[in-house]
Amino acid sequence: MTTMTERTTTPADRPALGLRERKKIKTREAIRTATYGLIGEQGYDATTIEQIAERAEVSPSTVFRYFPTKEDIVLTDEYDPLIMEELRSRPADEPWPDSLRYVMHRATQLGADEDPEVSRLRTRLMVEVPAVRSRMMQSMSSTGRMLCQAIAERTGRDPEGLEVRVYAMSLIGGLMETSLYWAENGHREDFQALLDRTLDVLQHGLGTEKN
């Protein structure tokens, strides 16, 4: 227990990570960068783990140690915890739809902060490579669990109850489709705008607007 904050001989606010940790992070990024590069050059299927290992200057074994599957190399997904935290820090009396909208906006801002190229490549792969989409959907399940938890906290319901679970998954399904839509249309439209339209549909169903 008690991660860090213990024996930080370096008084600076720097990470204070050991050489080992730093190397691990570097290896992780080397693998990801190599993967993005190779996929960009030759496509997803044509890119083998061996090639990735070679370009990242590690052994194939190491690649598997860092990422359980090839799809996981491109699907980072480190946002969920951030989103959860953001959600929890919203005022308790704020209407739920408002909280949701606010947090989703924040999340897309975070997404835009990182290299937009990467974020687009990722969504493009979601559309084009079935395996990646599958993996993505799978990760949706765990995201759904967290959402259930958050909703349960806010509404005092059972996080394992059917209603909460159904609601969470329908939400995620809708949001997922928004990403696909965005990617399928060549990332032309403004994602935030799409998001707003999506949330409208999820709140009010298919209303009477034109299209």
**Contacts to a copy of itself by CB under 8 A:** 96, 130, 133-135, 137-138, 140-141, 144, 151, 155, 157-158, 161-174, 176-178, 180-181, 194, 197-198, 201-203, 205-206, 209, 211
Beta strands, E only, 69-120: none
d(CA 70, CA 74): 8
Residue 198 contact partner, candidates a copy of itself, DNA, none, CB within 5 to 8 A by sort of partner: a copy of itself
Max Cα distance, the chain (Å): 64
d(CA 203, CA 30): 42
Return the range that interacts with DNA (CB under 7 A); candidates 61-69, 83-91, 170-178, 181-189.
61-69
Q: Is residue 24 close enough to count as binding DNA by CB under 7 A?
A: yes
Q: Is residue 14 close enough to count as binding DNA by CB under 7 A?
A: no
Instruction: Tell me the chain's radius of gyration from C-alpha atoms.
Output: 20
The answer to whether 130 touches 138, Cβ cutoff 8 Å, is no
Both tokens assigned to 140: 């949706």
What stretch of H or E contains 210? none
Q: Is residue 62 close enough to count as binding DNA by CB under 7 A?
A: yes
CB of residue 11 to DNA, shortest distance in Å:
17
Q: Is residue 48 close enough to count as binding DNA by CB under 7 A?
A: yes
Q: Tell me the three state secondary structure of residue 7.
A: coil
CB of residue 72 to DNA, shortest distance in Å:
8
d(CA 30, CA 50): 14
Residue from 64, 138, 160, 192 in contact with DNA (CB under 7 A): 64
Nearer to DNA, 1 or 92 (CB): 1
Q: Is residue 50 close enough to count as binding DNA by CB under 7 A?
A: yes
- From residue 40, give the alpha-carbon distance in Å to each of 36, 69, 132: 6, 19, 15
Residue from 14, 20, 188, 210 in contact with DNA (CB under 7 A): 20
Residues that bind DNA (CB under 7 A): 18-20, 23-24, 27, 47-50, 57-62, 64-66, 68-71
